[in-house]
Amino acid sequence: MNDDPRPARVALLGEFSAGKSTLANVLLGRAQSPVKATATQMPALWYRFGTGAPTRKCEDGTKHTLPGIAGTVASVDGTQAIDVPLDAPILRRFDLLDLPGSSDPNMPATAWDAILPEVDVAIWCTPATQAWRQSEAAIWDAMPARLHQRSLLLLTRIDKVGVADRARVLRRIRGEASARFRHILPVALLSVSEPPWACEASGLDKVFEALDDLLAHETPRPEPTVAPDTSTDTPDLPRPVVPRRVVSLKGGRPARRRASENRPLI
């Protein structure tokens, strides 16, 4: 798709309060993205591997170094995105973009326009208690068609749905949205303080597998130029993508599915 030397870019999308920022924090392994109601005032947060101060990229093309943590000193007005360099293991695999909620009344109608062309893989978050509303379907159908088979529909807060109703909810969503997404998965999002063994119980292990599959179907791109790591005690990052705090109960990586099993996971 692109031959430029950059990592893939994974965007978290969905309506306001769908669990995007909670998912970002889980993937990053730290409480970085604001998750409270005041986050409606947040511009897009673009997490990249690196160190240094966050930078505000303005709609007029100018950039300004921020003196504090990203998002706490910048408003949505006039801001295209906040560039946030972090030394997080998962950012060695891809950039992570936490976009404002589509139903946020404070979000300008053009807030996603400049960012979507840069996105390689999309994760649409929808709360299982009111999953995949018509407003969401309408917005998703207007998204670039190239993203539809490079996307994951994530039913967040599945633990808030009664056990007896979960199969019914999943069946409905699969019937309505399976043609629009490569994978559809339920998940109970953890906080970054949850123990590593909670990963499989939450369904996050399937999310990491799906992400690995989506990234594997991207056109290979050269690795970005970064300073070499000269330490001798840092192991290679495992596959599939798993934050440092999240490990398999068996200590290994999930087996890759055969080509015949490459289908939506519900």
Phi and psi at residue 87, to the nearest 5°: -90, 70
The pLDDT-based confidence of 17 (bands split at 50, 70, 90) is confident
- Tens of pLDDT along 74-122? 556 678 888 999 999 999 999 999 998 876 555 555 667 778 999 999 9
From-to residues of CATH 3.40.50.300 in the chain: 124-222+236-254
Closest by CA position to 220, among listed 115, 49, 93: 93
- Tens of pLDDT along 57-83? 888 888 888 876 544 545 566 788 889
Structure tokens at 103: 């139903």
Phi and psi at residue 188, to the nearest 5°: -105, 105
For the chain, the first-to-last Cα distance in angstroms comes to 28
Q: How far from the centroid of its chain's Cα atoms is residue 250's Cα?
A: 25
Task: Read off the pLDDT of each residue in 178-188 and give the average, rounded to a whole number.
Answer: 95
Q: Which amino acid is at 86?
A: L
Inter-residue contact 96 to 12 (CB < 8 Å): yes
Q: Which amino acid is at 100?
A: P
Between residues 247 and 57, which one has the greater pLDDT?
57
Structure tokens at 70: 């990203």
- Tens of pLDDT along 128-182? 999 999 999 999 998 999 999 899 999 999 999 998 899 999 999 999 999 999 9
> Looking at residue 219, what is its pLDDT?
53
Enumerate residues 6+ apart whose C-beta is below 8 A from 213.
Answer: 182, 183, 257, 262
CATH 3.40.50.300 correct for 124-222+236-254: yes
Closest by CA position to 241, among listed 195, 188, 204, 190: 204
Inter-residue contact 134 to 107 (CB < 8 Å): no
- Tens of pLDDT along 232-244? 443 333 333 333 3
Using CA atoms, how far residue 32 sits from 11, 28, 87, 96, 258, in Å, is 16, 8, 12, 12, 36
In eight-state DSSP terms, residue 10 is E
Residue 97, beta-bridge partner list: 11, 46
Separation of alpha carbons 121 and 146, rounded Å: 9
Between residues 226 and 156, which one has the greater pLDDT?
156
Inter-residue contact 215 to 122 (CB < 8 Å): no
- Tens of pLDDT along 22-44? 899 889 988 777 665 444 467 88
Separation of alpha carbons 215 and 9, rounded Å: 9
> Looking at residue 109, what is its pLDDT?
53
Residues listed for the chain = 266
> Looking at residue 106, what is its pLDDT?
55
E-only strand ranges, 105-195:
121-127, 151-156, 183-186
Structure tokens at 170: 């999943």
Structure tokens at 134: 């018509």
pTM, two decimals, is 0.75
> SS3 for 209?
helix
